[in-house]
A and B are shown apart, each in its own frame.
Chain A
Amino acid sequence: MKLSYNWLGDYVAHGLDAAGLADRLTMAGLEVDDVEQRGEALDGVVVGHVLAIQPHPNADRLTLCRVDLGAGEPVPIVCGAPNVAAGQKVAVATVGTTLSLPGRESPDERVAITIKKAKIRGEESQGMICAEDELGLSADHAGILVLDADAVVGQPFAAYLGGKGVALVDYVLDVSITPNRPDAISHIGMARDVAAVGRMPLRRPAVALPIAGGAVLDRISVVIEAPEACPRYVAMVVEGIAVRESPAWLKQRLTAIGLRPRNHVVDVTNYVMYECGQPLHAFDYDQVAGRKIVVRQSQGGESVVTLDSKERKLPENTLLICDADRPVAIAGIMGGENSEVTASTTTVFIESAYFEPSAIRRTARQLGLQTDASYRFERGVDATGQPWAAARAAALISEIGGGTIVPGMVDAHPNAPPERTILMRPARAVRVLGVAIDPAIMVVLLEALGFVVAMGRELQGEPALACTVPGYRPDVEREIDLIEEVARLYGYDKIPLPSHVPVAALAPAVAPETRAMQRAQGYLTGLGFREIYTNSMLSRETAERFNLPVLTAAGHPGAVVETLKPISQEMAALRPSLLPGMLAVMAHNQNHGHDVLRFLEFGHVFSTTAAAGVLVPGYGEHTSLLMAASGPAERVNWTNKERLADFYDLKGIVEGLISRLGLAEVAYIPVYVPTAITLYHLEMWVGGRLAGVLACASNDVRSLYDLKEAVFFAEMNWDVLAAAVPDAAGVNYRPISRFPSVDRDLAVLMDASVQIGAAMADIRVVAGGMLRRLTVFDEYRGDQVPAGKKSVAFGLRFSADRTLQDEEVDRMLARILERLQNEHGAELRR
């Protein structure tokens, strides 16, 4: 809400400047986002008296004036305005005054100009007679501003305006009001906090409150058919008025807070709403058919044309204000055009009601119509404040526009809200806040907010204050709400910082998945992978394309999870895999001149699932780890040619990752059948569970993202991997062998179709614990071997807890060879 500094000053003599006020409001929980100065101080501008004028000898449009400034000799001033005349009282910027004048190109851009003694077309000029725009009062530049005839010559112009209730300078504070503070959506509401913090009185304007009933009952009758949605309806009537333009002070205040002045009746209802928080509506009494108001819910098919000239089709159960024949307003939201106050209105009927917040919220949402009134009703206005607001508005309307207030008021009040009293234990407040506030101070603070506080009660065996809640604080329902009020007004800044930080006696839990994640990330970034963060949401089409078992089988394979009513189709589904996001990142960077494309991402992936044991039934979710490489594995340099990354680069990195994580028993199963997104891949099994995939991306996928080089990726279910990572206590040190190891090579010829991985697995089985290292250092097909065959050379390192004898190693090699012969048709290559 926009708050006027000058306006607030009507209710509390806070003695703060604008910045100080902003700070006090913010520290009381009413956060000020912005402070804007309006107007200029106009030091040096005084009231002058034009004694005589004569035409400028050298310029047709200029006039020479002799102006009395109240002190010293009258001064000559050259003036260009057509309306200047002898005898006028005018605003004169004296020599040395700095004004910010409207710019030549754009009047919004202001340029600082200091008035100097000057010769204008050869004639002496000692000052400037000002127009309204030059004083920052309006955009009017038609002529100079002519002041009242009784203006005191020599008086500062600011004092002259002050006498008319107009301030030259104001500050507008933009205040964020949290949803728990409906009481603060008004100047008085904010003044109450300012006064309470400063321990000073709040000054509410004195208003003669009418007694319910009286002559007004002859003018209008009110029937509430929907008492749940409208627990109270107050009405007053002012008759014999002349609708006119509002006085300067009122227009200035409304303009300051961003409202456009219309006529004095509408302006007063807005003014009172911003003053006390109670929305009001003024009807043209003569347009209210049957002199009767009915508050009821709409039936199907009704519509009303609102003040903004739009026809609104009303949903069923919209709360309506109707006259004898038809709806005249949508309750709490906007009035109807048919009963609008116009220039010809002579009698107004002021509505001041309490509408149920949920009813107004629902309708405002259904109609997509948010107004100043609905904003306040939705949050809950003061359930007791209707008569004051109606009387205040009636008084101002008649004060400004003449007319008389019809005595009495209608107060239809079928459901009086019960008075609420809440107990608060000062000791409990101290326990929650951690600062020993004197209970007497708590009483002072709560009373300043309008709570009626009585002592001598008990709660849970402790002394308690009985606090009766004022009508404007519907948010206060519990003890903790009162404790918050105490804390807020006492000041968070006064809560001392404890010298110690208490730490509960808990053994620190190990977070293995987090630690393993950091280890994996350190390993991968060391190998040139850059970590990325991609959007979890993507288009449904993309999500479907990548929702394939080859990627998702390690998680909860199921349908793509879709979002309801996303703001964009690009966010209609949740990613089933990290791959599409990473491919887009690869394409982006390739298109910006990068060739080494190595990325990694940890992130959640999603699918629907029927599986039991998920946290939210129906939805599967796990952390995925994706790494991908494309482009050079080694860049060209002065010794090497460029070498493009291939599948074995990625596989080596994955194998290294597995070792780095301390995982045992990882099996890789080759699949040569292409899928829509892979050319070939390895399934990765950890502890009997499918944990992920290592793959070469299909050409289709590559061309979809316009990637120039082959893309290799590995995507793993991190939850499966992390679960298999031994924690620190699970590592069992094996003493380092003091005995020498023995290295042997074994070269065999095999059918070209034999899978080396299977052969290696067999070697490991046969060799058992003696085998410490197994490498493949050659794989050859070609002229040197028979067609359909390949030569494979294994490097083996053996060791044991004793010195191995050559004969023992020879026997082992023979057994390995025998196994390779039997299982894989291998023969020893000589």
Chain B
Amino acid sequence: MVEQLDQLRRDIEATALDTSEAIDTFRIQYLGRKSGRITDLFQGLKDVPPAEKPAMGHRINAIKVLAEERLEAALQQLKAAAAPSTANLDITLPGRQVPLGSDHPLTQTLWEIQRIFAHFGFDIALGPEIEDDWHNFTALNFPPDHPARDMQDTFFLREGRRDGDAVVLRTHTSPVQIRVMERQKPPIRVIVPGRVYRNESITYKSYCLFHQVEGLYVDEGVTLADLKQILNLFARAIFGNDVVTRLRPSFFPFTEPSAELDIWWRNPALPGGGRWMEILGSGMVDPNVLESVGIDSERYTGYAFGMGVERIAMLRYNIQDIRVFYENDIRFLEQF
């Protein structure tokens, strides 16, 4: 029996286990549940005298552990051998490039403006770019001979037979104020993004079209102080908390009192260390405008503001020439 065990140990140690077939054969030969040689030894224990049984059991078990360890080691070795070789691998080669897309900087700026005003409960309203004179001018309290109504400044599509009848490319997003107030009663709280047109020659600082975001809030008890605060918060959100602003009186036909918001633009090259830059126009909705859409201007007050998306984007990104927005050069687009 002992000799038999020694022989078995030698056989186990001598068996080559370099293929998965060899490993399978080994497992069946020695550890197989039905006829493995070690299994047979355990079954042979019943014929061993009781006094030798424990010692013999230990020795058989030790051989079993040996076989299992060899099997496990061989499996590990085989697994390692099966793994792909890194010998010819160079993972510093560049990856396969996918084409890169981009959001236009004006869109990114617009989304940022929309995000800020959404926080303050402004919904988004849209309107047509071809607009009638009534919505673009008359309802907004423009007098009949206002210079903006001249072909010099505005693209006309059709001249009017009577007041309000002409058709223009909208010169601002403010006509959407009128369209919103025509279909909705106060409270009204919207911003209006969109493209607007001016009959101007194209230079580094002016283009024949640009984009505006209009804001309108009409409710009971809306004040100029509320306007000042919302504009102040907007400027801080978009230009940083330490932005210095000033609200100064101005004039627009459709707001009264009117105001423009300037921000202090730091520039060490300038005397005084910077200069004031106008970023938007605003004011309290003129009572004539409210009355033109049938809103009681005694009961309701409102504020409105409008800003140029290009202007904000030029300040944000330090762009000097407005034309680059419409040239769409990839070397420009890929920077955003």
Question: Does A79 count as interface, using CB distance less than 8 angstroms?
Answer: no
Q: Are A432 and B94 in contact (CB under 8 A)?
A: no
Question: Does B298 count as interface, using CB distance less than 8 angstroms?
Answer: yes
Contacts of A501 in B (CB 8 A): 120, 226, 229-230, 233
Question: Does A703 count as interface, using CB distance less than 8 angstroms?
Answer: no
Q: Are B221 and A431 in contact (CB under 8 A)?
A: yes
A600 to B101, alpha carbons, bound, how many Å?
9
Interface string of B144-160 (1 = CB under 8 A from A): 01000011000111110
Q: Are A502 and B287 in contact (CB under 8 A)?
A: no
Question: Does B326 count as interface, using CB distance less than 8 angstroms?
Answer: yes
Question: Does B2 count as interface, using CB distance less than 8 angstroms?
Answer: no
Question: Does B251 count as interface, using CB distance less than 8 angstroms?
Answer: yes
Q: Which of B251-306 contact A (CB under 8 A)?
A: 251, 256-260, 272, 284, 286-287, 298, 301
Interface string of A426-470 (1 = CB under 8 A from B): 000001111100000000000000000000000010000000000
Question: Does B330 count as interface, using CB distance less than 8 angstroms?
Answer: yes
- Supposing A29-B251, A501-B229 touch, asked if A563 and B123 sit within 8 A by C-beta, the answer is no
Q: Which of A505-530 contact B (CB under 8 A)?
A: 505-506, 508-509, 511, 513-514, 518, 521, 524-530
**Which among A31, A498, A637 is the interface contact of B97 at CB below 8 angstroms?**
A637
Question: Does A635 count as interface, using CB distance less than 8 angstroms?
Answer: yes
- Supposing A527-B99, A588-B328 touch, asked if A495 and B107 sit within 8 A by C-beta, the answer is no
Q: Are A531 and B249 in contact (CB under 8 A)?
A: no
A562, closest chain B residue (CB): B157
Distance from B53 Cβ to chain A, minimum over Cβ atoms (Å): 53
Distance from A168 Cβ to chain B, minimum over Cβ atoms (Å): 20
Which stretch, B31-39, B62-70, B127-135, touches the partner chain A? Answer: B127-135
Contacts of B75 in A (CB 8 A): none
Question: Does B9 count as interface, using CB distance less than 8 angstroms?
Answer: no
A27 to B249, alpha carbons, bound, how many Å?
6
A31 to B247, alpha carbons, bound, how many Å?
12
Question: Does A536 count as interface, using CB distance less than 8 angstroms?
Answer: yes
Distance from B117 Cβ to chain A, minimum over Cβ atoms (Å): 11
Q: Are A530 and B129 in contact (CB under 8 A)?
A: no
Question: Does A746 count as interface, using CB distance less than 8 angstroms?
Answer: no
Distance from B64 Cβ to chain A, minimum over Cβ atoms (Å): 41
Contacts of A496 in B (CB 8 A): 225
Q: Are B96 and A534 in contact (CB under 8 A)?
A: no
**Which among B186, B199, B222 is the interface contact of A567 at CB below 8 angstroms?**
B199
Q: How large is the interface on A (under 10, 10 to 19, 20 to 34, 35 or more residues)?
A: 35 or more
A606 to B155, alpha carbons, bound, how many Å?
14
B170, closest chain A residue (CB): A616
**Which among A434, A526, A567 is the interface contact of B223 at CB below 8 angstroms?**
A434
Which stretch, A265-273, A478-486, A656-664, A806-814, touches the partner chain B? Answer: A478-486
Question: Does A618 count as interface, using CB distance less than 8 angstroms?
Answer: yes
**Which among B118, B157, B256 is the interface contact of A563 at CB below 8 angstroms?**
B157
Q: Are A484 and B257 in contact (CB under 8 A)?
A: yes
**Which among A435, A506, A588 is the interface contact of B187 at CB below 8 angstroms?**
A506
- Supposing A480-B256, A504-B189 touch, asked if A495 and B103 sit within 8 A by C-beta, the answer is no
**Which among A536, A598, A600 is the interface contact of B129 at CB below 8 angstroms?**
A536
A633, closest chain B residue (CB): B99
**Which among A180, A528, A585 is the interface contact of B101 at CB below 8 angstroms?**
A528
Distance from B314 Cβ to chain A, minimum over Cβ atoms (Å): 14
- Supposing A487-B257, A535-B208, A606-B130 touch, asked if A640 and B96 sit within 8 A by C-beta, the answer is yes
Q: Are A530 and B157 in contact (CB under 8 A)?
A: no
Chain B's interface: helix, strand, loop or mixed, by majority? mixed
Distance from B291 Cβ to chain A, minimum over Cβ atoms (Å): 11
Question: Does B82 count as interface, using CB distance less than 8 angstroms?
Answer: no
Contacts of B124 in A (CB 8 A): 509, 511, 514
Q: Are B330 and A432 in contact (CB under 8 A)?
A: no
Q: Are B128 and A615 in contact (CB under 8 A)?
A: yes
A513, closest chain B residue (CB): B126
- Supposing A501-B120, A501-B233, A585-B328 touch, asked if A27 and B102 sit within 8 A by C-beta, the answer is no
Most buried by A among B157, B260, B329: B157
Q: Are B328 and A596 in contact (CB under 8 A)?
A: no
Query: In the complex, how many residues of chain B place their beta carbon closer than 8 angstroms to a beta carbon of chain A?
Result: 88
Q: Which of A756-793 contact B (CB under 8 A)?
A: none
Q: Which of B76-111 contact A (CB under 8 A)?
A: 93-94, 96-104, 106-107, 111
A515, closest chain B residue (CB): B124
Q: Are B97 and A635 in contact (CB under 8 A)?
A: yes
Q: Are A433 and B230 in contact (CB under 8 A)?
A: no
Contacts of B59 in A (CB 8 A): none
Q: Are B224 and A495 in contact (CB under 8 A)?
A: yes
**Which among A362, A532, A585, A616 is the interface contact of B131 at CB below 8 angstroms?**
A616
Distance from B216 Cβ to chain A, minimum over Cβ atoms (Å): 12
Question: Does B169 count as interface, using CB distance less than 8 angstroms?
Answer: yes
A603 to B224, alpha carbons, bound, how many Å?
35
Question: Does A689 count as interface, using CB distance less than 8 angstroms?
Answer: no
- Supposing A361-B145, A501-B230, A508-B121 touch, asked if A598 and B102 sit within 8 A by C-beta, the answer is no
Contacts of A563 in B (CB 8 A): 155-157, 169
Question: Does B248 count as interface, using CB distance less than 8 angstroms?
Answer: yes
Question: Does B232 count as interface, using CB distance less than 8 angstroms?
Answer: yes
- Supposing A484-B256, A487-B224, A492-B228 touch, asked if A503 and B121 sit within 8 A by C-beta, the answer is yes
Q: Which of A105-132 contact B (CB under 8 A)?
A: none
A489, closest chain B residue (CB): B249
Distance from A572 Cβ to chain B, minimum over Cβ atoms (Å): 10
Distance from A460 Cβ to chain B, minimum over Cβ atoms (Å): 7
**Which among B93, B301, B327 is the interface contact of A432 at CB below 8 angstroms?**
B301
Contacts of B111 in A (CB 8 A): 518
**Which among B98, B101, B246, B329 is the interface contact of A589 at CB below 8 angstroms?**
B329
Interface string of B168-182 (1 = CB under 8 A from A): 010000000001000
Q: Are B106 and A533 in contact (CB under 8 A)?
A: yes
Q: Are A497 and B229 in contact (CB under 8 A)?
A: yes
A562 to B98, alpha carbons, bound, how many Å?
41
Distance from A176 Cβ to chain B, minimum over Cβ atoms (Å): 9
Question: Does B333 count as interface, using CB distance less than 8 angstroms?
Answer: yes
Q: Which of A137-191 contact B (CB under 8 A)?
A: 178-181
Q: Are A621 and B248 in contact (CB under 8 A)?
A: no
Question: Does B43 count as interface, using CB distance less than 8 angstroms?
Answer: no
A640 to B93, alpha carbons, bound, how many Å?
13
Q: Are B157 and A492 in contact (CB under 8 A)?
A: no
Q: Are A521 and B103 in contact (CB under 8 A)?
A: yes
**Which among B127, B188, B257, B326 is the interface contact of A483 at CB below 8 angstroms?**
B257
A488 to B258, alpha carbons, bound, how many Å?
9
Q: Are B330 and A638 in contact (CB under 8 A)?
A: no
Interface string of A536-575 (1 = CB under 8 A from B): 1100000000000000000000000111111110010010
Contacts of B96 in A (CB 8 A): 634, 637, 639-640
A514 to B126, alpha carbons, bound, how many Å?
10
Q: Which of A385-433 contact B (CB under 8 A)?
A: 431-433
A638, closest chain B residue (CB): B93
Q: Which residues of A contact B (CB under 8 A)?
A: 19, 26-29, 31, 178-181, 358, 361-362, 365, 431-435, 460, 478, 480-481, 483-484, 487-488, 492-493, 495-498, 501-506, 508-509, 511, 513-514, 518, 521, 524-537, 561-568, 571, 574, 585, 588-589, 592, 594, 596, 598-600, 603-604, 606, 615-616, 618-619, 621, 634-635, 637-640
Would you list 5 pairs from A and B whose C-beta atoms are within 8 A, ordered by A residue? A483-B257, A484-B249, A531-B107, A564-B156, A619-B130
Q: Which residues of B contact A (CB under 8 A)?
A: 93-94, 96-104, 106-107, 111, 114, 118, 120-121, 123-124, 126-132, 145, 150-151, 155-159, 167, 169, 179, 186-189, 195, 197, 199-201, 208-209, 217, 219, 221-226, 228-230, 232-233, 246-251, 256-260, 272, 284, 286-287, 298, 301, 325-331, 333-334
* Further contacts, 18 of them, CB under 8 A, given A533-B106, A536-B129, A635-B97: A27-B249, A29-B249, A31-B248, A180-B251, A484-B249, A492-B228, A528-B101, A530-B104, A531-B107, A563-B156, A566-B199, A567-B201, A571-B208, A588-B329, A616-B167, A618-B158, A619-B130, A638-B94
Which 6 A-B residue pairings sit nearest by Cβ, starting from the closest? A434-B223, A528-B99, A434-B225, A29-B249, A525-B101, A504-B187
